[in-house]
Amino acid sequence: MVKYAILGFGVVGRGLAEVMADQREKLAAAAGEDMELGYILVRHDYPAGPFQDKLIRDFSLIENDPSVAVVAEVIGGTDAAYEYSRRALMAGKSVVSSNKQLVAEHGAELAALAREHGVSYLFEGSVGGGIPLLRPLCRCLAANRIDEICGILNGTTNYILTAMAQKGQAYADALKTAQQLGYAEADPTADVEGIDACRKTAILADLAFGVNVDPADIPTRGITAVAPADLELAQALDGAVKLLGRAARAGEAVCAFVEPHFIPQGHILASVNGVMNGCAIRGSAVGEVVLCGPGAGSHPTASAVAADVADAVRHRADPMIPDLGAPGGRLLPADELCSRWYVRAQCGPEAVSAAFPGAEPVYGSTGECGFVTAAMLDRRQLEKKLAAVNGRAAYRVLA
Ligand SMILES: NC(=O)c1ccc[n+]([C@@H]2O[C@H](COP(=O)([O-])OP(=O)(O)OC[C@H]3O[C@@H](n4cnc5c(N)ncnc54)[C@H](OP(=O)(O)O)[C@@H]3O)[C@@H](O)[C@H]2O)c1
């Protein structure tokens, strides 16, 4: 019998305590021994509940208890979460986390600390919530050179874009509904500006390409400028607009970026709707694999974190530490990637054919048109032509 501790008793922390209790026997089989909840670290009082006797406020009780083998950090942010993760690892305890900001910004350093102290550092819940994504990428696809990963990695923005497309809602109205349903925070900046997707893209790039990418270096554009007309025109062009995080191999370098894309209906990601997430991985042997599922939520995320707790216990003699890569990798500017483009413009069909020969515009209810260009090597080439058609928006087309 070993003990585990939970840091933070919010959406994921409470879900983790519940899932670990509900599936205690199954998880014990996965871990190879029974696991008991030792402590839940909190910073204020909670109304009486089933885990009341586990709540503590002093981290040193966890740090100094030799029977605690695993610490689940589900606090979020990089302040207390970083400090407690370091102290737990230095005390010889495995750490598991759903905190993408911490993993994206300090994961390589924490992984090195785990290596030094012979313990595991796992973070399956940090990308894709409940979708098994990082383990398949690192282990099940070990026989592949990964060429590209691209995903709908943020449920809030996917909910908003789906509501705009399916209900014809304006951005502000869709955001308000997302907040009322608990899908978006009161301050939605990290989601709608693409920051959350950027952190997850950085983690995926680290694991796929062995280069530790600084999320601050990933060009990131969110969904605040996506207009209802884009969703309407995309549908008329047999596609959908989605926010994608992409990371691709480009020779010796890596190209990573987050921005809205036009996805043709033929691609599975075009039909990943609402709060669902989906991630396509292109490998040299397997081709394209797409993993879809709930990218957030209390029990879905706890499902991933609980499995990490069990794996960390099972691997006490042989720690699991995914390789987040070496720092200093070069990120190639996304502008140099060859892409077709979806364009929304205000002009007649003649102007479209003059600037973009072969493009076939469709017209929407605002009088604007949408069309898809031929492949272009350089974004600057596109920018020059956009002026000729009074271009209002341009999104890459997912090939
Ligand atoms: N929610 C999801 O669906 C989801 C999905 C995937 C990943 N994640 C990630 O999982 C992490 C947790 O998310 P969450 O949604 O569970 O957040 P949350 O509901 O805000 O829970 C975080 C909890 O940590 C507590 N906390 C903060 N600082 C603390 C400290 N110094 N000591 C003890 N407790 C402290 C907070 O207490 P207070 O109540 O006092 O603020 C809160 O109860 C984040 O990194 C998030 O990005 C969440």
Q: What distance in Å separates the CA atoms of residue 150 and residue 278, rounded to the nearest whole number?
A: 9
43 lines ligand 1 (CB under 6 A): yes
150 lines ligand 1 (CB under 6 A): no
Q: What percent of the chain has pLDDT over 90?
A: 92
Which ranges of the chain would DSSP assign to H, the alpha helix? 11-22, 24-31, 59-63, 80-90, 100-117, 134-135, 155-167, 171-180, 189-192, 195-209, 228-236, 298-314, 349-355, 379-388
Question: What is the reported pLDDT for 335?
Answer: 75
| Residue 253 confidence class, pLDDT cut points 50, 70, 90 | confident
d(CA 46, ligand 1 centre) in Å:
14
User: Does 250 have pLDDT greater than 90?
Assistant: no
Is 242 labeled as catalytic in the residue annotation? no
CB 372 within 8 A of CB 237: yes
Mean pLDDT of 267-271: 97
Mean pLDDT of 372-380: 85
CB 208 within 8 A of CB 146: yes
* Torsion 364-367-370-371 (CA) sign: positive
Q: What distance in Å separates the CA atoms of residue 151 and residue 171, rounded to the nearest whole number?
A: 21
Please identify, by atom number, the ligand 1 atom nearest to the C-alpha of residue 84.
Answer: 31
41 lines ligand 1 (CB under 6 A): yes
| Residue 326 confidence class, pLDDT cut points 50, 70, 90 | confident
d(CA 345, ligand 1 centre) in Å:
43
d(CA 299, ligand 1 centre) in Å:
14
128 lines ligand 1 (CB under 6 A): no
15 lines ligand 1 (CB under 6 A): no
| pLDDT tens for each residue of 105-133 | 999 999 999 999 999 999 999 999 999 99
Question: What is the reported pLDDT for 16?
Answer: 98
Within 10 angstroms of residue 88's Cβ, the number of other Cβ atoms is 28
d(CA 76, ligand 1 centre) in Å:
5
Question: What is the reported pLDDT for 364?
Answer: 97
Element (H, E) at 99: none
Residues contacting 174, CB < 8 A, separation 6+:
159, 160, 161, 163, 164, 167
Please identify, by atom number, the ligand 1 atom nearest to the C-alpha of residue 75.
Answer: 24
Element (H, E) at 187: none
The domains located in the chain, with CATH, are 2-130+298-327 (3.40.50.720), 144-294 (3.30.360.10), 338-397 (3.30.70.980)
